[in-house]
Amino acid sequence: MKEINVQMITLEQVNIIETVPQKESDSNFTDADYRHLAARKHEGDENGNTWCKFASLQIPLESEALGLTDVVIGDSRTVSVKESEPNVQCEHGEIIVARKHHGDENGTTEYTIAQVYARINTTKILIPCVAINPEEKTCKESDGSYMEIAGKCMVGRRHNGDENKNTTYIFAHIAVPYVSVMR
């Protein structure tokens, strides 16, 4: 009789970089190396500054023996919302990789959301990753504190109103569901 074993291998967050501040009313946070959005902070109103942190995901070293070689950021889509009413939530296994905003709280914010995959043995075989252990963190939008949870990716954001209202960020670990068959 064979035994099926399923384990979740949590990807590690590495190479964290902080962006230079940008005026919120004309901000465009993207990363040429296609890292994901790991944190965000904003000070003041739409004329204030916003900073972001981007990070890469990697397979934990101890999991490479299982044949998992690297992380691939795959298909992406853009979600546009009015800044004063956004409710952006990634699907299971997706992360936010970019954020662009124009105007005040009545302006448009665009989020680029992408699926995460793990590659097996440098082949074309990709395993879709999943989000696990979601956690929320809330702050006053304009308070100037980084909203982040160590090791977790930004997978959603809720905000209602102007910069004096609260914003809730949703973070989660991204993991590879790995199945093995034991004899």
How confident is the model at residue 3, as a pLDDT? 84
Please tell me the distance from the alpha carbon of residue 97 to that of residue 73, in angstroms, as a whole number.
9
Percent of the chain at pLDDT above 90?
57
Q: Which residue has the tokens 């699926």?
A: 115
pLDDT for residue 128 is more than 70: yes
Please tell me the distance from the alpha carbon of residue 23 to that of residue 44, in angstroms, as a whole number.
10
How confident is the model at residue 46, as a pLDDT? 84
How confident is the model at residue 84, as a pLDDT? 76
3-class DSSP state of 164: coil
Q: What tens digit of pLDDT does each residue of 13-68 get?
A: 999 999 999 998 899 998 867 789 999 999 988 888 999 999 999 999 988 888 89
Mean pLDDT score, 155-174: 89
pTM of the model: 0.91
